[in-house]
Structure 1
Amino acid sequence: MDIYDTQTLGVVVFGGFMVVSAIGIFLVSTFSMKETSYEEALANQRKEMAKTHHQKVEKKKKEKTVEKKGKTKKKEEKPNGKIPDHEPAPNVTILLKDPVRAPAVAVAPTPVQPPVVIAPVAPVPAVPQEKLASSPKDKKKKEKKVAKVEPAVSSVVNSIQVLTSKAAILETSAPIQGKNADMVQSQEAPKQEAPAKKKSGSKKKAPPDSDSPLYLPYKTLVSTVGSMVFNEGEAQRLIEILSEKAGVIQDTWHKATQKGDPVAILKRQLEEKEKLLATEQEDAAAAKSKLRELNKELAAEKAKAAAGEAKVKKQLVAREQEITAVQARMQASYREHVKEVQQLQGKIRTLQEQLENGPNTQLARLQQENSILRDALNQATSQVESKQNAELAKLRQELSKVSKELVEKSEAARQEEQQRKALETKAAAFEKQVLQLQVSHKESEEALQKRLDEVSRELCRSQTSHASLRADAEKAQEQQQQMAELHSKLQSSEAEMKSKCEELSGLHGQLKEARAENSQLTERIRSIEALLEAGQARDTQDAQVSLREGREKELESQVRCLEKEATELKEAVEQQKVKNNDLREKNWKAMEALASAERACEEKLRSLTQAKEESERQLSMTQAQTKEALLALLPALSGSAHQSYTEWLQALLGKHRCRHTPLPGPLRSLLLSPDLASKLREAEETQNSLQAECDQYRTILAETEGMLKDLQRSVEEEEQVWKAKVSATEEELQKSRVTVTHLEEIVEKLRGELESSDQVREHTSHLEAELEKHMAASSAECQSYAKEVAGLRQLLLESQSQLDAAKSEAQKQSNELALVSECGREGNGARVCVRVCGSLASRGSPPRASLCGVSTQLKTQLERTEALLEDEQAQRQKLTAEFEEAQSSACRLQAELEKLRSMGPLESSEAEEATQLKERLEKEKKLTSDLGRAATKLQELLKTTQEQLAKEKDTVKKLQEQLDRTEDSSSSKEGTSV
């Protein structure tokens, strides 16, 4: 595996993220779930209570010392100036917001004020205990709040102890008023300390100044307390101070009003505070029970959290398994790509070896030819010298001729030297070409690496698309279930509508009969009223009126139900209209995509025709160039203008074979290469088989088009039938509304009339018989609907078979495209051979460079055709995907129809499903039309593929002819060299 690959890096990053998240979840679950136990919370509460009690005792001791020191000053400043600022009535208004009860407390020395003052204490701990524990942090907060409840109870106990101490002081000491005033001053000091504590934040309470006490007026104190924000502890402390203050003021009023028996008043106050203590203890017990319940809930939540952790671990294990599977797949694909790259590298190496070996052999051959020519020149010169010595007399006359011949031979030698120089330059150019080939090899390797990266990305995309397709399939199954339920509801609602319409018609007849009977009854009643007594007549009339009113109420309820059903049907119709509009928009989009695909196919066909024309032009040019080159090399050859190029080459080959001269190396390899011949034969065989398959596909497509047209017609006919049924039901609904209004008018008229019980019974029996008839008719209609659904199911089965056939055809087309691509690859091998032959021929003689240029042009042309074939294959894959989507939609419709058939005999009270069934039929019609269009498009694609195959055949034939021509030209060149 490559560490720097994008997929491996992504997998490693994802795995690391999952591991880190699992570790974080584990740490959070271990450290955040720690809780304080119930015993630890109680111990903390007791410690806090002991601290607060100790602080209060110390404060009281300090206050007593201060009182003793400033006793003389406080006797002069008695409560005459201080108590009016803090009257009991405003204190009551602060705590209870009830100014009406204040004068009663001031006048009568009853012990009503202490419970009124302490009443707000109870709700303080009860509010935070109502919330359930949702997390460990909330549980800790709740335990702290419960811990704050017990200091409130301790404060009440402390207040009771203070009152008992006050009673002892009243019995022993006479100057009670002075001491009470001192208590008032000592309790006013914490009041003034409370806002200072809020402003200073975390500062400690300052000790009360005995030398300079600060007194605030009542209004400013109320405004400051109202504007401040308190914690729970600060609010509790304020309540305690106010309760103690109210007790002291009440004691002073008791002394002012009743100087006789203060002990009885204190006893009453003690009893009341004992009652308050009992209530507080009950509240504390309730709080403990709530704490136990909260602990139980905590344990349950812990169990749930453990279960959730187990689920998360399972999910993590499953994801790790999926990641390992994906890694294995990626490794396998990477290995396959590496193998392909190695194979390509081996092929390129073989080609390089061939290219390197070719120039060396050619140079050796040229050196041999040069040595032969030198030997021939030496022999000619020796012969000339011998002849000159032997026949001087004869040669003197022919000296001029011989000198001329020598000049010509010298010029020929110069030309040969020039040819050698040209060959050396060509060898250098060939080496440059080899370097270029190496560079192109590297570029091809880079392109292959890019292709591997693209394939890996496509794998990731395919996996994501597979997951999305699974989700879509699940949604489709849910929609199918919903459709089945809606269809069953539709059938039941139709049956109920028909039965209700029949009931309305029966009721209408009954009302007419009731009118006639009422007229008869009125005449009888008039005759009987004279005979019967007034009381009996009134009793019977009341009973009959009550019966009539009950019947009218029943009719009104039925009418309301019918109106509700009509409104529901209207809403369903509107919803179906919206869905139809959405489907139309989707169909338009699909049509636009198909039109764009058709345009792309047409453009490709045009490009192919242009490429074909260019190839024909190039072939004609190559033929002319090769003919000219051969004539230039071999001036002894003669060719008529009327002969074709192939006939001329065959004639040259025949002459060469008659002479029995050996062919040169490169041309012999071209002529005797069996691979090219076998590849050409295979290409012809594959083209023939593809043409036969194309003919079969044409016939199958024609059959499928006919079947689809039949299906479309049948669906249109059924749609018309359903439209007629829906219109009939709408007319029946309108008629039922008219009848309902008419019945309401009749009921209003019949309210003043009377009926006998026997006639009502007869009417009910008649109505029951009519209802039974309507039920039988509705069951018959349900059976007819079931038959129609069965017919639709058969039609859908036929359409599915046709779609399967079309799918098989699409698969065959993909196979054809694969075969065509293989043929293109084989053509690429032939092109490489042609290119090598051209390069070898270019070293033999100057005119062969034109052949090399032609081979390169042919190579570019074949590469273009391959690119076009790949584009066509991609388009066909897209069309096959669209065809498979249409097939899946047809299968869904078939499943929905089967469900509708199974749920046919059911009955329900909703009529919305009629419009939904109508929409289903419209969807089926659209699907059939889309399938017909897809079939026509497939047929057009088959035609285009056949045309392309014919073009490929032509190109293969032309290549074969060109190879034959190159063989002939090589044979002719060998003859000239010999």
Structure 2
Amino acid sequence: MFLFFWLFMKETPSPVDPGSRGVPVLLALQKERRRQAAAGQARRPQEERQEEEQEEGGEPVAAREVNGSKPAARKAEPPPPPVTKQPSPPPAEPTGKKRGSQRKQKSETVVVDEPPQETKVDQAPVPVKKDVAMAADAKVQDGAPTPAPTSGKKKNSAKKQKTEPGVRVPPAAPLEEPLVQLSVSAPPLDSEPQKGHGDDAPAKTSGKKLKNETDKGRERERCSPLGLALSEEEAVSVAAVLREKSPSALDAWHRSAAKCDPLAQQLQERERLLTTLQEEASIAKEKVKHLSQELQVEKQKTGRAEAMLREQRGALEKELSVMQSKAQGSYQEAQGMQMKFQQLREQLEGQIGRLQQENGILRDAVSNASNQMESKQAAELNKLRSECAGLMKELGDNSGKLQQEELQRKSLEVNYKQNVSQLEAQLQDAKRRWEELQNFLHSVNTEREKLQAAKQELQSQLLGVESEMSSKNQEIQNLHSRLTDTLVSKEQLEHKVMELLEATHHTRPDDAQQLQDLLAENKALKVQMENLQAQLSSQTTTASHFDELQKLLADKELQRKSLEDSLNAERSSGASRETDMQAMHTDNLTLKAELQKLQAQISEQAEVNQDSQLVLDQFQKSAQEKEEKIKMVETLLEAGLIEMANKEEELKTLRTENDSLKQEMDGLQQQATEQTSSHLILEELHRTIQDKDERMRFMEEKIQAELESVSDKEKSIETLEQSLEALRTEAEALRTEAEQTRDREALENTSSSAQLQELQMLLAAREEAAQRLQRALEERAEEAALMEQQLKALQEEGMQLREQLEQQLEEQHDQKPVQMEAPSQELLMELAERSTQVSALQSELEELRASLEMHRKKNNELREKNWSAMEALAASESMLQTKLSKTSKESQEALEVVQAECRELLHRVLPSVPLPASQSHQEWMQMFESAAKEVVTEAEPAAPAAPGPESEDADVTALEGKLKEAEDAQKVLQKDCETYKKVLAETEGILQRLQDSVEQEESRWRVKLESAQSNLQEMSLKVASLESEAGRLDSDTEELESLRRDKRHLESELERAERESATYVTEVRELKDLLTELQSKLDGSYTEAVRQNEELNLLKTQLTETLSKLETEESERQKVAGDLYKAQESLDLIQAEILKETGQADLIENSTIATQREETDRKEKMTAGLNQTVRELQQLLQTVNRQLTKRQEGDRDKDAPEI
């Protein structure tokens, strides 16, 4: 009520008479009331703040700033009395609003409580007199400090300040206007003890306090029904009336005022309350102004944010259009690639059918050849078995003959014992026979010389063959050097290609014209790369052909070497057999001569028996050696078969490795197929790579099958050659089946000619297969070039995108630093994904290259193993040659032993002839002949004198009998000699025939080798010419293909541009519609700051969700929910403030109530508007999400049939 009274007094403009006596009294009362109201009002908001902080934190609150003034303890100021009742306490500044302002304006350092301090003087009440108003304002400003609370003095203040029931008005001053109702029972609001009561009023005793309390109670009872409001004019008129009627009332009033100190204190407290209420009103107005300023600032921010969003939206629309164009281009390229792949598949299916037909033909031919070879081998085995049976029979006959000879020898020894006396008379016959023996020895020596000459000729032939082999080895080395040169050139070309690729990777275009120029240069480089790859493929195919030809030549040379070695072995075996036969003949002749001539010497006969046993042992040893040789050949054959089996096992291991690689590739393909729809191009490229790998594997399997068939055929040829060698050796060993061997040789020649024709056919088929492989390799190289081109195109696109992004970021960095953060990050993510895809493709290409290098290494290892097998065969041949040399040396040593034994026997017959020390056997035999003649001439004159006639008759009869026996023995010996001569003649004829046949075969083989070499040279020349022509044709075809590709590319680009333009028009229209809708919604929602912030967040989330393919919808929704929750909290705080302000407004007069009601209505409208904006924003979120989901479903439906 005092507040209303003061306000009325403030608003009265009518001047009052300065001479009147009641005005100073009223002014003094007003001053006291202002002081009291200011003190109580200052304490109450501070106490409420302390209570709120205690409720929130539970801690004691320190002295705060109240209305911008710092707390200061004033001792001279009288403490306000306790007030019991107050209609509605004016609330202090709410903490929620303060917190909201602190959240929004953290960087601002100005406190909300400071502005009212500045507006106290400006909004001071208009006084009646200027001097009095200025004094009152100064007192209000000085007398409203907020004392700092102290905990120790609170109890004393509570004891001193007791509640008083009321204030009694003295009866001497009858008041006509109603008094203002007072509030008595309020507790003290400040904990500080109020000192200095003696400055304003004297101290009272306890009796006076009781009287004052009773007077106040009575006055309260009187004035309780008169609690009406008075204006300033009414108060002035009341004062004038009182002064006119009872001038002494003022004196009584002064006296009562001097006596009633508690009443003055209450008036001061109420005046202080009025000042605090006025300050709170000014603070509320300042807050309203501050809120309006904040709203304007937020509107400016929302305008800026709208501009930023519009710019971001335009940039994002451009980026979306670019990305959509790129996606459409990639999709069209994928369709073109699919069409090309379908064409390639059809071509491959045709080629596969042709290859299957050819494989069937080759399998039939191989089966026929294998059947023929098996039949021939069975026939040859039967023949060999029959021949072995005949040889066994001959060996049995020879052993029987030897046993018969031994029996004859034993019988001769018995006859020798009986006819010892008869042999003395036959010395002359022995001499004659000795001369015959010498003649026979001369003939034997001549035959031996002939054999030595034949041996020398064979050795010269061997030297010639070795020289030919050395020349062929040199040719092979030359071919190897050429191959190494070609490989080195190939590696150089590959290095050049890699350097070109790196150079193309490092070059980066800057402008559009440079891009076009670089694209043209890239096309030219791609054409050059294709040419180089074609050349590389042709070089690889030629190298493989050369390797195969070298292998074939090496195999043929090894076969020829084996044939020559077998021929040499056969010749050496024939020579050893001849020498053995001659030794046998000589031994037999010597034995017979010794039986005829040396029957008188028992010891010599025993030695002769030992010699014959040694010869038999040697013959058996030679037979055993032959059997061992046969076993060695068989072991070598078995070793060759084992090596072939090992090679087959190695091939099997390679196949298993290939299968494992296939499985790995399948796994990689499965991983690639699990990727998203954006990787369709990569998946199609993987499929093309898989198809090409399958083609290569199929071709490799075909090559392996053909190589196996060729190896089988070569094995069959080797078996045939081995059978031929065995047949030749058996033909040389056989004596009686010369005509049959000739027939067999003729048949074998015919079969070999047929086999050669078949081999020629197979070689032609292999050449055709090699050409097909060349074509397949060229196609593979072209496909690899296409893959590399696509990779380069992707890399160039990525580089262009990065450059565009960098340029855009540089241009918009100064103007729009925040605008392009989210889309640029998303584009960078997409670029990173593209780069990872490109790196994955490059790694896959590197893995494929590594696998190819592994296959090459394995092929090289197989080649090395083949070379090692060839070296093993050469080592076995050298072993056989050493064995042959050993056998020749052993035969020579046997001859020397036989000659030594012959010399010893002759020396025993004639000991006068010494044994030779350094002479040859022939010279010693001549000396022995001369010495024997001398002994015979000396023995003739020393014949004994003739005895008597009887003794002479007996001697004659005895001599006649001896002569007859000697003649019989001589006849037998002559028959034996004739038979041996016939046998020797037959053996010589057989040997001559064998030599002729061997020479003929050698001449035939030489002719065949020369023809084969000439054919090889012609074929090499033809291959070189064909390669040159093929290179020209390839260059021409590549040029034509490049032109065709350019035309197709241009046509496809035109079609793409048309399609893209149509799609762009439709998409732009849709985007414009969407943009118009969004703009309308934005224009409707940009009314207030909260709306703008929330819609900005929503638009940002929408744009980022559309660019990132709706991956972050949930997170953005959560953020929006958090923002809404915060907004709701802020709205609740605002509503609480509004309610508090409305509660405060009830205390103010009707004029201030109207203004506050308007403000509350505005705030309620603000809250209602905020709630409506929140609802509208939620609806917008739902509609945008629905549109996005519909658009995603439409895109998926569109993508599904295209995939």
Larger Rg: 2
- Greater relative contact order structure (CA < 8 Å, 6+ sep): 1
In the superposition, the TM-score normalised over structure 2's length comes to 0.24
